[in-house]
Amino acid sequence: MLLKQRVIDLAPDFMVKLFAAPYIAGDSAEAAVRQASSLWSGRRLKSTIDLLGEELTRRDDVQQTVTEYLRLVDLLGRHELATLSLKPTQLGSHESVDVCADHIGRIAAYAAAQGIGVTIDMEDHTCTDITLEVYRRLLPRFPGLGTVLQTRLHRTAADIEALKGRQARIRLCIGIYLEPADIALQKKPEMKERVLTQGERLLDDGHYVEFATHDEALIGKILDMIARRGFGGSQFEFQMLLGVPRDAVQQRLIAEGHTVRLYVPYAVKWSHALGYAKRRLAANPNMGLYVARNLIRGISKSAARPYRAV
């Protein structure tokens, strides 16, 4: 993974755009809404829409992010096909918990008026405390508010315990960020095993669990656990990423009556999409080889369509 990340970091931006195109809905809120509508009408997949960008420190950029999310709510209108995901480092977490909570609260209130759910996304381990603090502050005002826990982090069991009794909505994933061994597991099989054990615990505690995984074997184990414990379909859903080819398993889950939701990101500035795009490419088992080969040979004619940057 580290070697692959280094290869991808060496790739020029235009190459990253080419390969990352399937993972990103476009360069506008309108494009993201079109993508979400198409996923629902064509395949009955729900969406959670994310405006890409992280670690924004200029107040103008933060305010533009708030304004863009409010505009996105207006474009979506009242429906049940999409929710919103947003990151604290886009919304003032560098200033204070209070500032961040105010911005996220404003978006959540505007979305709630249209019946649109909001999830406070999780970033790397340096953001976990402030993310969960903002979540705890806002949850009493917005009972449907969601957040994310990552099974790779050693602290997650304690974070689950701290949420007991809150009837939370939790996206449970292994996490994409590479973290040091003293705070996180390093082996994916162990992270995936925790998806089962920690997911079961969250369900036991009465939370709504959004199992975020593309691993079909793990999905099968989750379904076995749910059937064995008798959890109802209204207590969980499955989430995956736009651009990851899992149509067969998605349609099978939907046919069985389960909710499946895709993470649908977009960016109004390519610079805001770059970090996410590189993490997605690094997570693709074949992408390091593709990028390295094309760094030497030039862009293949069969490469994906380019992302249209502003």
**For each of the chain's 310 residues, which pLDDT tens digit applies?**
555 566 566 666 777 777 778 899 999 999 999 999 999 999 999 999 999 988 899 999 999 999 999 999 999 999 889 999 999 999 999 999 999 999 999 999 999 999 999 999 999 999 999 999 999 999 999 999 999 999 999 999 999 999 999 999 999 999 988 899 999 999 999 999 999 999 999 999 999 999 999 999 999 999 999 999 999 999 999 999 999 999 999 999 999 999 999 999 999 988 877 878 777 777 765 545 544 555 445 444 444 444 343 3
Q: What is the pTM of this model?
A: 0.89
Task: Tell me the CA distances in angstroms from 120 to 25, 79, 228, 295, one per residue in order.
Answer: 20, 20, 31, 36
* 75 contacts 110 by C-beta, under 8 angstroms: no
The number of beta carbons lying within 10 Å of the beta carbon of residue 249 is 17
Nearest alpha-carbon partner for 169 in 194, 193, 135, 213? 135
In the chain, what are the domain boundaries?
1-24+273-310, 27-266
Q: For the domain bounded by 27-266, which CATH number is listed?
A: 3.20.20.220
Structure-block tokens of residue 76: 């979506």
